[in-house]
Amino acid sequence: MRQQEIIISRQLEKDLEQALGRQTYDRLFVLTDETTHGKCWPLLSGFPFMRQAEVLTIGTTDEHKNLETLAAVWTALGEKGGTRHSLLVNLGGGMVTDLGGFAASTFKRGIPYLNIPTTLLAMVDAAVGGKTGINFNGLKNEIGAFAPAASVLLDTEFLKTLDYKNLRSGYAEMLKHGLISDEAHWAELVGFDLEDVDYRRLQDLVGRSVAVKEDIVARDPYEQNIRKALNLGHTAGHAFESLALQEGRTVLHGYAVAWGMVCELYLSCLREGFPKDKMRQTADFIKTYYGTFAIDCKEYEALYQFMTHDKKNTAGHVNFTLLGDTGDIRINRTADKEEIFNMLDFYRETMGC
């Protein structure tokens, strides 16, 4: 898989013009959702080289990351004259970059695309690394492909328009990157004030976070080995997301990952000797800034069943990425049903469910 070009942009017009100039295309399309069409597209629409772009707009929130929306994007590309030589720019959060990347990688057997992520979550996670996809059959990211963008432009100016919940959602993935990299990076992340955000410092932290993911993806582009480190918090987190979707109480992805990390750091302590003080400090940070996803013991079975459908599983075993310490990654760890139920007990006790 070819490596994406990551551009930390401080002059979006110049950087985007140069990125587009490195591509050959007959028609230019821009995919937005209803929110980014109103808040972010006006910034790009004034650039002279964007005036001929066809804009496609889809619904906001993860519930639109489905086959119906994907088909609508394919249809719009076809009806507006898209060819196998066209180019798609995805302007939005992780839902837009995931779905738009998959639409581009499958339309006419694949057209090139660029990502301009507008949320912190998309900047440090969804838009980087080449994973694309949609939710299907009640499961997160069940259908998709590895198909990297030609370029990813990261401009943290977009973050100043972001509400605090979406900012914190993205920060959860940064916290994960700190846990899988080194103690110093983890320590500065758990010491960051998410109530009074220092955007200059946040920009530096975003750059470091993206570098952590880039390094791992370059070493293992198709998730055969070390890239599984990026799954920390996601086995339990995706189960929380799926349960929330089923029960009609949709949660943001990063919040679910944060709660998933509480669960999986407990397993890391139990199984791999992860330091209890670091687990407690991380869990306290998460409880302070992310609150609690309330569950009771009657929902354990449903959560367990969601975990058994996770794509990372092998031979019927629920697979986790765990840690021996910050930066000490233990992939392909499994847990049985009893251990998972104990993990959920710990989550409820720690988070005050």
Contact 169, 253 (CB under 8 A): yes
253 belongs to the catalytic site: yes
Of the residues 168, 228, 234, 330, which is catalytic? 234
Q: What gap in Å lies between CA 282 and CA 261, rounded to an integer?
A: 9
Q: Based on the residue annotation, tell me whether 85 is a catalytic residue of this protein.
A: no
- Exactly one of 64, 213, 228, 330 is catalytic; name it: 213
**Cα 51 to Cα 45, 88, 114, 328, distances in angstroms:** 6, 14, 17, 49
3-state class (DSSP) for residue 319: strand
Out of 65, 131, 168, 177, the active site residue is 131
Buried b (16+ CB within 10 A) or exposed e, 146-168: bbbbbbbbbbbebbeebeeebbb
Q: Of 65, 238, 312, 330, which residue is the catalytic one?
A: 238
Radius of gyration of the chain (CA): 20
Task: Kindly name the residue from 115, 135, 168, 173 that is annotated as catalytic.
Answer: 173
> How many other CB atoms are found less than 10 A from the CB of residue 341?
16
Q: Is 213 a catalytic residue?
A: yes
CA atoms 53, 210, 60, 36: torsion sign: negative
Determine the Cα–Cα distance for residues 176 and 202; give it in Å rounded to an integer: 15
From the candidates 135, 141, 231, 319, which is the catalytic residue? 231
Calpha distance 216→177 (Å, rounded): 10
Active site residue 37: no
The residue from 64, 176, 177, 253 that is catalytic is 253
Please name the helix (run of DSSP H) or strand (run of DSSP E) that holds residue 152, with its range, or none.
Answer: strand 151-154
* 238 is known as an active-site residue: yes
Alpha carbon distance 34, 39 (integer Å): 9
Residue of 2, 51, 109, 298 marked active site: 109
Catalytic: 338?
A: no
Which residues are CB-neighbours of 96 under 8 A, at least 6 positions away? 31, 32, 33, 36, 58, 90, 122
Q: Is 185 a catalytic residue?
A: no
> How distant is the alpha carbon of residue 158 from its chain centre?
17
User: Which is the catalytic residue, given 185, 223, 264, 330?
Assistant: 223
Can you tell me the distance from the alpha carbon of 211 to that of 12, in angstroms, rounded to the nearest whole number? 20
- Burial annotation 114-130 (CB, 10 A radius, 16+ → b, else e): bbbbbbbbbbbbbbbbb
- The type of residue at 164 is Y
Catalytic residue among 140, 168, 177, 227: 227
Per the annotation, the verdict on 223 as an active-site residue is yes
Annotated catalytic residue 131: yes
Active site residues per annotation: 109, 131, 173, 213, 223, 227, 231, 234, 238, 253
